[in-house]
Amino acid sequence: MFEKLKKDPKMKDLAIKIIAVLIILSVALLSFDVFTQSKDGRKQILDEDGGTEEALCAILTDMKGVGEVDVMLQYGEDDQISGVIVTAEGAGDPVVQNNLVNAVRAVFNIPVSSVMVFEKDDNANQENGGKEK
């Protein structure tokens, strides 16, 4: 049966047209997926062991005047971050506090009112023998 299809020019032409249509449909579906995705290049990295918090702490700690940082994230109904609490050694300085709020707001695209920044308590760290919790 395949021998007849290989020798028949009409069947060859039909097979080529079918293959061409399938290729065109594949390209159309892929381009539709690409063009309908969000244009926002930021992506949240969420994992079970707190990777988002660790990454945020590392970034905020690198900022001038911030010092040691701890972060807690609050998730809303659709697993989007709805609130953030930051404790930092340098948060007693209003400029540092403002920089922390703006950094967190920019990363998670949340309103300033959803970000709370507090100065770390030096006594809490000393009570633990200088060790982290």
pLDDT 10s digits, 6-49: 777 787 888 889 999 999 999 988 888 777 765 544 444 455 54
Range 16-40 burial, b when 16+ CB lie within 10 A, else e:
eeeeeeeeeeeeeeeeeeeeeeeee
Sheet holding 81-88, edge to edge: 69-75, 81-88, 115-119
SS3 97: helix
CATH 3.30.365.10 fits 51-121, yes or no: no
pLDDT of res. 133: 42
pLDDT 10s digits, 41-95: 444 445 554 567 888 888 898 999 999 999 998 888 887 888 999 999 999 999 9
**pTM, to two decimals:** 0.56
Cα–Cα distances in angstroms (integers) from residue 33 to residues 4, 20, 21, in the given order: 40, 20, 18
